[in-house]
Amino acid sequence: MRETVFQRVFAFVVGWGVAILLFFPIAWMVLTSFKSEVDAITPRLTFTPTLSSYAEVLSRADYLSFALNSVVVSVGGTVLALLFAIPAAYSMAFHPTQRTRGTLLWMLSTKMLPPVGVLVPIYILARDSALLDTRTVLVIMYALANLPIVVWMLFTFYKEVPKDILEAGRMDGARTVSEVWYLLLPLTLPGVASTGLLSLILCWNEAFWSLNLTTSSAAPLTAFIASFSSPQGLFFAKLSAASTMAVAPILVFGWFSQRQLVRGLTFGAVK
Amino acid sequence: MATLTLRDLRKSYGPAHVIKGIDLDVLEREFVVFVGPSGCGKSTLLRMIAGLEDITSGELQIDGRRVNDVGPADRGLAMVFQSYALYPHMTVRQNMGFALRLARVPKAERDRKVNEAARILQLEPYLERRPKDLSGGQRQRVAIGRSIVRDPKVFLFDEPLSNLDAALRGQMRMELLRLHEDLNATMIYVTHDQVEAMTMADKIVVLQAGLVEQVGSPLELYHHPTNLFVAGFIGSPRMNLMPARVVEVTGSGVTVALPSGGQVTVPTSASGVRQGDTITLGVRPEGLHVDSAGQIAGEVKLVERLGGLTLLHVTSGVDLALTVQIEGSDATRAHETVHLSIDTAACHLFDKAGLALPRLVRHPMAA
Chain A partners within 8 Å of B52 (Cβ): 167, 170-171
Chain B, window 139-158: residues with a beta carbon less than 8 angstroms from a chain A beta carbon: 146, 150
- Cross-chain Cβ contact B99/A168 below 8 Å: no
pLDDT for A98-154, tens place per residue? 999 999 999 988 888 888 989 999 999 999 999 999 999 999 999 999 999 999 999
Chain B partners within 8 Å of A164 (Cβ): 81, 83, 85
Q: Is the dihedral of CA A121, A127, A132, A135 positive or negative?
A: negative
The answer, for B87 touching chain A at a CB cutoff of 8 Å, is yes
Count of CB atoms situated within 10 Å of the CB of A131: 17
- Cross-chain Cβ contact A170/B72 below 8 Å: yes
Q: Which residue of A has its CA nearest to B158?
A: A164
**CA proximity to A81, closest of A140, A3, A122:** A140
Question: What's at B106, amino acid-wise?
Answer: P
Confidence category of residue A45, pLDDT binned at 50, 70, 90:
confident
**Distance from C-alpha of A246 to C-alpha of A240, rounded to nearest angstrom:** 10
Q: Is the pLDDT of residue A269 over 60?
A: no
Q: List the single residue in B72, B89, B102 with the smallest CB-CB distance to A187.
A: B89
Q: Is the pLDDT of residue A62 over 90?
A: no
Q: Is the residue at A144 inside a domain?
A: yes
- Cross-chain Cβ contact B50/A168 below 8 Å: no
Q: Is the residue at A5 inside a domain?
A: no
Q: Is the residue at A39 inside a domain?
A: no
- Cross-chain Cβ contact B83/A187 below 8 Å: no
- Cross-chain Cβ contact B73/A182 below 8 Å: no
For residues B339 and B213, the answer to whether their CB atoms sit within 8 Å is: no
Q: Is the residue at A266 inside a domain?
A: no
Q: Is the residue at A87 inside a domain?
A: yes
* Domain harbouring A168, CATH code: 1.10.3720.10
pLDDT at B47: 95
- Cross-chain Cβ contact A164/B98 below 8 Å: no
Confidence category of residue A170, pLDDT binned at 50, 70, 90:
very high
| Pairs across A and B, CB distance < 8 A | 59
ipTM: 0.84
Chain A partners within 8 Å of B188 (Cβ): none
Chain A partners within 8 Å of B81 (Cβ): 164, 167-168
**CA proximity to A240, closest of A108, A52, A98, A67:** A52
Count of CB atoms situated within 10 Å of the CB of A57: 24
Chain B partners within 8 Å of A165 (Cβ): 85-88
pLDDT at B273: 86
- Cross-chain Cβ contact B98/A182 below 8 Å: yes
**Distance from C-alpha of B329 to C-alpha of B292, rounded to nearest angstrom:** 19
Confidence category of residue A216, pLDDT binned at 50, 70, 90:
confident
Q: Is the pLDDT of residue A267 over 70?
A: no
- Cross-chain Cβ contact B102/A173 below 8 Å: yes
Confidence category of residue A179, pLDDT binned at 50, 70, 90:
very high
Q: Is the residue at A111 inside a domain?
A: yes
**Distance from C-alpha of B90 to C-alpha of B84, rounded to nearest angstrom:** 14
pLDDT at A271: 33
Nearest Cα of chain B lies from the Cα of A94 at a distance, in angstroms, of 12
Nearest Cα of chain A lies from the Cα of B88 at a distance, in angstroms, of 8
Q: Which residue of A has its CA nearest to B47?
A: A167
pTM: predicted TM-score of the whole model, two decimal places: 0.81
Q: Is the residue at A56 inside a domain?
A: no
What is the share, in percent, of chain A residues with pLDDT greater than 90? 45
The chain-wide mean pLDDT, for chain A, equals 88
Confidence category of residue A266, pLDDT binned at 50, 70, 90:
low
Count of CB atoms situated within 10 Å of the CB of B92: 27
Chain A partners within 8 Å of B83 (Cβ): 162, 164
Instruction: Report the DSSP pairing between strands B288-290 and B320-327.
Output: unpaired
Q: Which domain holds residue A166?
A: 62-226
pLDDT at A113: 85
Q: List the single residue in B83, B88, B98 with the smallest CB-CB distance to A172.
A: B98
The more confident residue out of B364 and A170 is: A170
**CA proximity to B161, closest of B170, B151, B152, B153:** B170
Run of H or E residues at A190: helix A189-205
- Cross-chain Cβ contact B51/A170 below 8 Å: yes
The more confident residue out of B15 and A41 is: B15
Q: Which residue of A has its CA nearest to B156?
A: A171
Question: What's at B230, amino acid-wise?
Answer: V
pLDDT at B331: 87
Q: Which residue of A has its CA nearest to B50?
A: A171
pLDDT at B319: 84
Q: Is the residue at A243 inside a domain?
A: no
**CA proximity to A200, closest of A22, A83, A110, A79:** A79
Q: How many domains does chain A have?
A: 1
For residues A90 and A158, the answer to whether their CB atoms sit within 8 Å is: yes
Instruction: For chain B, 367 residues long, give each residue's pLDDT as a single digit of tens.
Output: 689 999 999 999 989 999 999 999 999 999 999 999 988 999 999 999 999 999 999 999 999 999 999 999 899 899 999 999 999 999 999 999 999 999 999 999 999 999 999 998 889 999 999 999 999 889 999 999 999 998 899 999 999 988 888 888 888 899 899 989 988 889 999 999 888 999 999 999 999 999 999 999 999 999 999 999 999 999 889 999 999 999 999 888 899 998 888 888 999 988 788 888 999 999 999 999 999 888 889 999 999 999 999 999 999 887 889 999 999 988 888 999 999 999 988 899 999 999 999 888 888 888 6
